[in-house]
Structure 1
Amino acid sequence: MLQLRPGCECCNKDLPPDSTDARICSFECTFCSDCTDQVLNGICPNCGGELVTRPRRPADKLVKFPASTERVFNENCSAKGSEGNVD
């Protein structure tokens, strides 16, 4: 089951469970669409995987299977994103 982490690891923007703005990789690293597009170019800075739209859990399921409250923030995210963009 996906953790549905509460915020962007790059800019710390809140990403509630029903957010259409959340992006994840296969390891569930979580970013907002702005950081994904403008900083990371669609690639996870942690694992190198593709960042895709995070599925949303139906509201009635959140009661029994709540989203994670663990917030992950990497203040060096923008530096990692720019390092990976060298052609």
Structure 2
Amino acid sequence: MLELRPCCEHCAVTLAPDSLEARICSFECTFCVNCAEGLLGNVCPNCGGGFVPRPIRPARNWKGDNYLGRYPARTEPKLRPVDLEAHARLVRSLAGLEPEAR
């Protein structure tokens, strides 16, 4: 099950479970849209993959107890501010490859 992290790993802005501003990579690294698409250029600093909008877990029990009440979001932040110089080197090494080609 997807871990819903409570904030951007870089800037610590709050990302509620129903936030449309949350972006994740395939390893669930979580960043706000401003960091993911702007600052980081759609390159995850932890794995080099791309970002997609984080899905929103249903708040209501529509079926089978698969909802936020049964499977709550994480409350402890996971902060890993990005070393922007190292990230710039990573971006250059990818030479403009699209996320699906990385």
Q: TM-score by structure 1 length? A: 0.89
Gaps of 5+ in 2: 61-66, 96-102
Q: Which has the higher contact order (CA 8 A, sep 6+)?
A: 1
Which one-letter code corresponds to 2:75 in the other structure?
T
Which one has a bigger Cα radius of gyration?
2
Q: Does structure 2 retain, via aligned residues, the 8 Å contact 1:10–1:78?
A: no
Q: What residue in structure 1 maps to residue 53 of structure 2?
A: 53
Gaps of 5+ in 1: none
Q: Does 1:65 align with 2:71?
A: yes
CA RMSD of aligned residues (A): 1.4
Which one-letter code corresponds to 1:8 in the other structure?
C
Q: What residue in structure 2 maps to residue 74 of structure 1?
A: 80
Q: Does structure 2 retain, via aligned residues, the 8 Å contact 1:6–1:70?
A: yes
Q: Aligned partners of 1:81 and 1:62: how far apart in 2?
A: 34
When structure 1 is superposed on structure 2, of 14-23 and 66-75 the one drifting more is 66-75
Identity within the alignment, %: 49
Q: What residue in structure 1 maps to residue 98 of structure 2?
A: none
Q: TM-score by structure 2 length? A: 0.77
